[in-house]
Amino acid sequence: MSVALLFPGQGSQTVGMGRALSEVSPAARRTFEEADEALGFKLSAIINDGPADDLKRTAVTQPAIVTVSVACLRALQEAGVDGGVLAASFAAGHSLGEYAALVAAGALEFNDAVRAVRARGTFMQEAVPEGQGAMAAVLGLDADSIRAVVADVSSDDAYVACANFNGPEQTVIGGSVKGVETATAALKARGAKRVMPLPVSAPFHCALMAPVQPRLSDVLGGVTVSPFRFPVVTNVEALPNSDVDRVRQLLVQQVTAPVRFTEMATFLLAAGVTRFVEVGPGKALIGMVKRTPGFSADSMKLLNVEDPASLQATVAALAN
Q: Residue ranges of the domains in the chain?
A: 3-127+209-318, 133-200
Active-site residues: which are they? Answer: 95, 205
Provide the whole-model pTM.
0.96
Same-fold call for 3-127+209-318 versus 133-200: no
* CATH architecture of the domain with range 3-127+209-318: 3-Layer(aba) Sandwich (3.40)
Instruction: Give CA–CA dist 5/76, Å, rounded.
Output: 11
Instruction: Give CA–CA dist 63/270, Å, rounded.
Output: 32
Closest CA to 94 of 312, 284, 319: 284
* CATH architecture of the domain with range 133-200: 2-Layer Sandwich (3.30)
Q: Which amino acid appears at position 54 of this protein?
A: D
Per-residue pLDDT of the chain (320 residues; tens, 9 = 90+): 799 999 999 989 999 999 999 999 999 999 999 999 999 999 999 999 999 999 999 999 999 999 999 999 999 999 876 544 547 899 999 999 999 999 999 999 999 999 999 999 999 999 998 889 999 999 999 999 999 999 999 999 999 999 999 999 899 999 999 999 999 999 999 999 999 999 888 899 999 999 999 999 999 999 999 999 999 999 999 999 999 999 999 999 999 999 999 999 999 999 999 999 999 999 999 999 999 999 999 999 999 999 999 999 999 888 87
Q: Is 15 exposed, middle or buried (0-12, 13-18, 19+ CB in 10 A)?
A: middle
